[in-house]
Amino acid sequence: MQKILVLAANPIGTSKLRLDEELREIQEALRRARKREQFELLSVPAVRHQDLRRSFLDNKPQFVHFSGHGSGEKGLVFEDETGQAKLIDAQALSGLFELFAVYGKCVLLNACFSEIQAHAIAQHIDYVIGMSQAIGDKAAIEFAVGFYDALGGGESVEFAYKFGCQAIRMAGIPEHLTPKLLIKKQLETIGSNINIPVSSNVALDFRFNTFLDNLTDNLSSERGIDYTRLRNFLALEKWFDADKETLNVVLKVTQREQEKWLDVQSINDIPCIDLHTIDQLWVKYSNGRFGFSIQKSIWQDVENNEQAFSYKVGWRILGKWVYHHSLTFSLDALPGHLPFWGRGWCGQGQWVQEVQIGQWANALLSHQNL
């Protein structure tokens, strides 16, 4: 029997959340689950810091689910004895979870801007899910339902996370990229790469910064463009951010920042050195899955056929073009799926597909350094 502890807090003076509905939906997901007998659901409403400590001590849960508000670096919002908001920061939460790491398996922080706390807790717990930005009630509930549907069906935490993200996506809510899964083993790998043990008291952000500082990529630019930010996003597998940053650096290198969009002629103005730098960063950190040179190979394989190319890289599905928020920002995507030549590249709300993908492919993928 694995215990799932649901903690909820909606203090006086904070915006009203549908926490009761979220709990009810979680209960229903587990009630109808194929392996429901393997889980016991416990809940603590209006949770205070004393309740947090005592519920861990009394129940020793394998899964902890927090529903409520997050305030980024300031912490998660719990309640005090009068029902007012009381913030608990990342280090305090990390210390508590460290004491119960022998029992804990997964923590789900279903609260806005909770990725910071997730990073701290992931030093001690195998799987932690936090939100990278604000998340709406409906998206939060959809994610929880999908997550526990899969978990109750006997699936792994990693599968349940993906299933929860897909539940948001299928509901037509453009927030499926907000939940972020952190895996302790991956953080340990980063720590070992720079000879800092994950069990040390060194802050996680310091390990990340040291890891990034020790990277030795060639970031050459003919026009003095700084590619560090792009490299860092790619090194940390933040594909969505890397895709956006790719447009930013291309706008800079083509001196189109004021216009905020590109045209086919602008592509011809990208120096070979810069195009090579951008491409090699994508290729390296995606293990040869993404990048302009990967797209070039696919373009040649389909004999410069626009429609075949768009299907091959996953930009068109069942005859329809995929919108940016519906792209797959993970290594599960098709080869060549990223970076995406979408909105912002050709401006005026248009998509590159509307101005002949072949023209763009010929301009972008014909550079000699690809």
Report the C-alpha gap between 253 and 294 in whole angstroms: 21
Give the pLDDT of residue 197.
Answer: 42
| Chain CA centroid to CA 249, Å | 21
Chain segment 285-308, per-residue pLDDT in tens? 998 999 999 999 999 999 989 889
Q: Residue 250 above 80 pLDDT?
A: yes
Give the pLDDT of residue 261.
Answer: 82
Q: Residue 310 above 60 pLDDT?
A: yes
Chain segment 11-28, per-residue pLDDT in tens? 999 999 999 999 999 999
Report, as an integer, the average pLDDT of 123-133.
92
Give the pLDDT of residue 358.
Answer: 82
Q: How many CB atoms lie within 10 A of CB 143?
A: 29
Q: Residue 200 above 50 pLDDT?
A: no
Going edge to edge, which strands form the sheet with 76-79? 69-70, 76-79, 85-88
**Domain 228-364: which topology?**
Arc Repressor Mutant, subunit A (1.10.10)
Report, as an integer, the average pLDDT of 58-80.
94
Report, as an integer, the average pLDDT of 107-112.
96
Q: Residue 203 above 60 pLDDT?
A: no
At residue 350, φ and ψ (nearest 5 deg) are -85, 170
Give the pLDDT of residue 1.
Answer: 87
Question: Under DSSP, is residue 287 helix (H, G, I), strand (E, B) or coil?
Answer: coil
Chain segment 266-278, per-residue pLDDT in tens? 888 888 899 999 9
Report, as an integer, the average pLDDT of 352-359.
72
For 133, the token pair is: 């930005």
With tokens 């630019």, the residue in question is 221
Question: Under DSSP, is residue 54 helix (H, G, I), strand (E, B) or coil?
Answer: helix
Q: Residue 350 above 70 pLDDT?
A: no
Report the C-alpha gap between 5 and 12 in whole angstroms: 23
pLDDT band for 179, please (50, 70, 90 cuts).
very high
pLDDT band for 190, please (50, 70, 90 cuts).
low
* Domain covering 2-187 in this structure, CATH number: 3.40.50.1460
Q: What percent of the chain has pLDDT over 90?
A: 63
**110 or 210, greater pLDDT:** 110
Chain segment 153-176, per-residue pLDDT in tens? 999 999 999 999 999 999 999 899
pLDDT band for 368, please (50, 70, 90 cuts).
low
**What are the residue ranges spanned by the domains of the chain?**
2-187, 228-364
Report, as an integer, the average pLDDT of 188-214.
51
What average pLDDT does the chain have? 87
Q: Residue 346 above 90 pLDDT?
A: no
Residue type, 188: E
Report, as an integer, the average pLDDT of 197-215.
52
Q: pTM of the predicted model, to two decimals?
A: 0.59
Contact 30, 41 (CB under 8 A): yes
Q: Which residues of 79-101 are buried (b: 16+ CB within 10 A; e: fewer)?
A: beeeeebbebebebbbebbbebe
Give the pLDDT of residue 281.
Answer: 95
- Closest Cα partner for 237 from 314, 127, 331? 331
